[in-house]
Amino acid sequence: MKLSGKIVILTGASQGIGKAAAYKFAQAGCKVALVARSAKMLTEIVKDIGENHALAIPADVSQKEDCKKIVEKTIEHYGKVDVLINNAGVGLYQPMESVLLSDINTVMNVNFIGVIQLSQAVIPKMRTHGGGLIINVASIIGKRGFPNMGIYCASKAALERMTESWRVEQEKDNIRFSMCYPGITQTNFQKNTLGIPPTDQFNQLAGVSAERVAWQIVQTARRESRDAYVTLFDKMFILGTKHVPHLFDMIFRRYS
């Protein structure tokens, strides 16, 4: 897709990967509608990018009414939606025996149900304009469970299965779907993660910058890749976990 002039809704845009992506899509000539709950952080980013190219929409993607509002405000302001990037997400670090139902609900409501609700609100509008692209941001650990993060991994795995189904259902209306699978990324994600503080070993895992992942998301929009990975290590991780799962059980033991 040629990005210049395209209207992009980007969730989770107040910090981390989403914030970095907001700047990169604007640099690529897109007009962005930036979604997160923190109005103040979004307003700063809009000021920085410029009000002609960015719009702040404070909203909670886990709320159905908010999802409708996100689409209405974008259409009201820009007239259409070409691309939706479902990037908002929350982690949960907790051994399965003690995981709280309220935390499970939060994770599933943001990472999975939120994507459903916002996509359901946007698809009819995309269809009216001849189609559109939806990019869902998952994780390499949606491909392989990581100790103490089972619920988060499950939310991303669910997102992947759903995207595969929707891709085929929606192709007749030219609604296209891509998935992006970041690995560990240097953001406040771990700080914002629900549950108990992760182990020191886990915290020491090095990651790529948010800008690197954001660049990959922009490339995913350009190329409309079916599945996009950020680093060669991430690809090898997925291959390895598929072909030598026992080896990864052994490696992961030190993080449990």
Query: Which range binds ligand NAP by CB under 6 A, 2-10, 29-37, 96-104, 244-252?
Result: 29-37
Q: How, if at all, do strands 83-86 and 132-137 pair? A: parallel
Task: Based on the shown chain and the rule CB under 6 A, indicate whether residue 15 belongs to the binding site for ligand NAP.
Answer: yes
| Cβ at position 102, least distance to ligand NAP in Å | 14
Q: Given candidates 145, 182, 195, 198, which one binds ligand NAP under the rule CB under 6 A?
A: 182
Among the listed residues 124, 95, 90, 93, the one whose alpha carbon sits nearest the alpha carbon of residue 109? 90
Assess 207 for contact with ligand NAP (CB under 6 A).
yes
> Taking the complex as a whole, how short is the minimal distance between the CB of residue 56 and ligand NAP, in angstroms?
11
Q: CB-based burial of residue 20 (10 Å sphere; 0-12 exposed, 13-18 middle, 19+ buried)?
A: buried
Which residues lie closer than 8 Å to 55 by C-beta, 6 or more apart?
31, 32, 33, 34, 46, 73, 74, 77, 78
14 binds ligand NAP (CB under 6 A): yes
Among 6, 9, 10, 18, binds ligand NAP (CB under 6 A): 18
Task: Tell me if residue 93 is catalytic.
Answer: no
Instruction: Specify the DSSP element, H or E, that contains 107.
Output: helix 101-108
Asked if residues 125 and 80 have their Cβ atoms less than 8 Å apart, the reply is yes
Instruction: Pull the structure tokens for residue 160.
Output: 């992947």
Bridge partners of 195, per DSSP, are 93
Rule CB under 6 A: is residue 33 a binding residue for ligand NAP? no
- Binding residue for ligand NAP (CB under 6 A) from 56, 84, 135, 184? 184
Binding segment for ligand NAP (CB under 6 A), chosen from 1-9, 16-24, 26-34, 168-176, is: 16-24
Rule CB under 6 A: is residue 137 a binding residue for ligand NAP?
yes
Contact positions with ligand NAP (CB under 6 A) in 100-129? 110
Dist. CA 120–CA 105, nearest whole Å:
20
Q: Checking phi first, is residue 131 left (phi over 0); if not, alpha (psi -120 to 50) or beta? A: left
3-state secondary structure of 10: strand
Q: How many residues are recorded in the chain? A: 256
- For position 220 contacting ligand NAP by CB under 6 A, the verdict is no
Q: Which amino acid is at 242?
A: K
Using the rule CB under 6 A, is 148 a contact of ligand NAP?
A: no
Residue 216 in contact with ligand NAP, rule: CB under 6 A: no
Catalytic option among 23, 93, 152, 181: 152
Q: Active-site residue numbers?
A: 152
* Residues of the shown chain interacting with ligand NAP in the complex, contacts defined by CB under 6 A: 11-18, 35-38, 60-62, 87-90, 110, 137, 139, 182, 184-185, 187-189, 192, 207
